[in-house]
Amino acid sequence: MEQYEKYPNSIRRFQYEKAIIKRNPHIYWWELQRILDAKFGMQKEKTVSQGGGLIFMKLHTEIKIDAAHHLPNYEGKCNQLHGHTWKVVVEIEGIKNPQTGMIVDFVEIKKIVNEFDHGCINDFIQNPTAENIVDYFLDKFSVFNFPKITIRVYESENSYIEGTR
């Protein structure tokens, strides 16, 4: 957690909370708050307008791509090569970079998602189920080290899978 020392207490608290939940996903809310209050106290931080810390923001973008795939481990029609117009929804929570004024450039997000566009997803993922595609994108976006990222992949207009890391 030392890498977060430069951030305001609220961000450090958030990172510590994520680490506790990861180790113990069934922790009671009140118990988690007790641990966090003991470590970080209840002190309020100045807002940005008061000359204080950084703002935690959420970025949301939706990208449509056309790509083919087949499911080699599936018995049924999806075992055959076929295509979809996929919709990939990316939500990133993070802190605005003071130099760029952005959490991340939308162009960087589009580069990662668009590598599938008009191609065969099997060239990237051996068994490209919607779940495995979500895992793939979560791994790709992990290089940015965002506090929280959610990926939602729509295989059709009404069917999607979502993952958060």
Considering the candidates 45, 91, 93, 155, report the single residue annotated as catalytic.
155
CA dihedral 131, 135, 136, 139 (to 10 degrees): 170
Considering the candidates 17, 45, 70, 78, report the single residue annotated as catalytic.
78
Question: Does the active-site annotation cover 78?
Answer: yes
Considering the candidates 31, 108, 118, 131, report the single residue annotated as catalytic.
118
17 contacts: CB under 8 Å, gap ≥ 6: 32, 36
Question: Does the active-site annotation cover 120?
Answer: no
Question: Does the active-site annotation cover 155?
Answer: yes
The partner residues of 93 in beta bridges, in order of sequence, read 58, 148
Q: Which residues of 85-116 are buried (b: 16+ CB within 10 A; e: fewer)?
A: ebbbbbbbbbbbeeeeeebbeeeebbebbeeb
Instruction: Tell me the catalytic residues.
Output: 78, 118, 155
